[in-house]
């Protein structure tokens, strides 16, 4: 469960990114993350644990310094023993923004899960520090994480394996590289298991800035929002392994840059300019 907010409205933004965010041109998503992390005064902790490439952390460190922050540190947790590093824990506690890179989300859950690092990240977010994750990092942010699953448009029993995530929110479940890798079926499968959360399917170079009930879409692609709050029927309990699953009463939105979604009312809204024209 997410750590309780110290004061109402204090929780920091939760920012899943669909992967392959623009790093060369306007860097809109990364600029926005820096802005909510304190702008030029921001101190960014970069966690490249999901990646097995030694270059991943330093590459983001250079990116954030180029954008313009007070400091950026790479906390390169490679083994569970690394999570006891007191210097890195101090850096994490000092950070005004935390960013998890892409790679394999099971590396995040198996290395960080249940450690002081994970608990400190939840406490820092509850105290107002924004936490972002791209690709695998995005999948790891919620309480429930899609570990892996098959591509395709139709939900199938057994097509998705779930695992515990970081637990910053229990209100959404995230899938990434969504349109590019044809993942609507596996997101629907995940929701068919437990029709409580809202599904966010994030295209590449697209993000959701979740602040309280309000979600704002930022980026070049779209987010497919799958709302099962009015679901009439899920066939998951009776479906045989590998069989398609019937879902009745699913509501779907496709939201692009500037659109918003309210997690409390489950209502989607177009960008402000469109609302003014209407």
User: How many CB atoms sit inside 10 A of residue 220's CB?
Assistant: 18
Give yes or no: 135 in active site: yes
- Given the residues 109, 204, 207, 260, select the one marked as catalytic: 204
**Catalytic residue chosen out of the listed positions 37, 51, 109, 135:** 135
β strands within the chain, DSSP E: 14-17, 43-47, 71-74, 97-100, 131-134, 144-149, 160-164, 172-175, 198-202, 206-211, 214-219, 222-227, 233-234, 247-248, 251-256, 260-262, 267-269
Cα–Cα distances in Å, from 6 out to 26, 115, 124, 214, 277?
Answer: 35, 21, 10, 19, 40
- How far is it, in rounded angstroms, from Cα 128 to Cα 132? 13
Catalytic residue among 37, 109, 177, 260: 177
Output the six-digit token pair for 253. Answer: 């939105």
Which of 164, 176, 169, 134 has the alpha carbon at shortest distance from 47?
A: 134
Catalytic (active site) residue 51: no
Q: Is residue 204 annotated as part of the catalytic site, yes or no?
A: yes
Both tokens of residue 277? 């024209």
Which residues does the annotation mark as catalytic? Answer: 135, 177, 204
């Amino acid at each position: 469960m997410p750590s309780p907010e110290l004061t109402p409205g204090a929780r920091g933004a939760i920012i899943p990114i669909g992967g392959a965010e623009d790093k060369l041109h306007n860097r809109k998503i990364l600029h926005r993350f820096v802005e909510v992390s304190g702008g030029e005064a921001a101190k960014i902790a970069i966690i490249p644990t999901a990646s097995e490439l030694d270059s991943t952390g330093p590459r983001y460190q250079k990116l954030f310094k180029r954008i313009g922050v007070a400091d950026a540190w790479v906390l390169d947790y490679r083994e569970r023993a690394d999570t006891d590093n007191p210097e890195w824990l101090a850096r994490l506690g000092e950070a005004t923004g935390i960013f998890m890179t892409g790679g394999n989300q099971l590396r995040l859950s198996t290395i960080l899960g249940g450690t002081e690092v994970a608990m400190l990240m939840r406490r820092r977010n509850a105290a107002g520090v924004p936490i972002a994750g791209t690709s695998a990092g995005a999948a790891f942010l919620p309480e429930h994480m899609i570990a892996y699953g098959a591509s395709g448009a139709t939900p199938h029993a057994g097509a998705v394996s779930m695992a515990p995530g970081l637990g910053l929110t229990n209100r959404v479940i995230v899938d990434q590289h969504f349109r590019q890798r044809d993942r609507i079926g596996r997101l629907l499968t995940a929701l068919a298991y437990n029709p409580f959360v809202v599904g966010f399917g994030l295209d590449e170079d697209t993000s959701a800035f979740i602040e309280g009930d309000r979600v704002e879409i930022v980026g070049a692609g779209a987010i497919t929002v799958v709302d099962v709050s009015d679901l009439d029927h899920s066939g998951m309990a009776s479906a045989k392994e590998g069989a398609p699953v019937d879902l009745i009463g699913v509501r779907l939105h496709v939201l692009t840059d500037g659109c918003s979604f309210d997690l409390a009312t489950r209502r989607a809204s177009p960008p402000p300019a469109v609302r003014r024209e209407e």
